[in-house]
Amino acid sequence: MNTLNGNITSIQSYEGISLVKVKSNDTIFTSIVLDTPETASYLETGHSVKIIFKETEVIISKDFSPNISIQNRLQCTIESIKKGVLLSQISLNFGETVIESIITTNACEQLQLEKKDAVMALIKTNEVSLSPND
């Protein structure tokens, strides 16, 4: 899994669900959770949290401002590519950290991804979990 540290910058809650914004590496992440500040004490502005998402949920785009619904958009450069028969693992430099993406080898070839390419990593809001740092 990909894990990044960040701090909560805002929380919008409605009927048991919260949309939580977390800042990490100067980028704002959005996560949606089935909790509210009433049910989970870590949901408060400023609280340090881990942002967690699975490698297989990281979409790669060569277009830097795609007109699509995905909220989490990370500017990255490709550090390395490990090509498999069906799947490929792309290591991405994001600020000071590395995040991993697993996409199909077909997709990797279609996008002609190369080392050092600048790409956008995209993660849907509902794929991002949070874990409080205590």
Contact positions toward another protein, by CB under 8 A? 1, 31-35, 40, 42, 52, 54-56, 82-89, 100, 102, 126-127, 129-132
| CA distances from residue 86 to 90, 92, 101, 106, 116 in whole angstroms, order as listed | 13, 19, 14, 7, 22
Smallest distance from the beta carbon of 117 to another protein, in angstroms?
19
Q: Which is nearer to another protein, 24 or 88 (CB)?
A: 88
Q: Which is nearer to another protein, 46 or 85 (CB)?
A: 85
Closest by CA to 72, choosing from 118, 127, 1, is 127
Taking the CA atoms of residue 102, residue 10, residue 13 and residue 124 in that order, the dihedral angle to the nearest 10 degrees is -20
Smallest distance from the beta carbon of 85 to another protein, in angstroms?
6
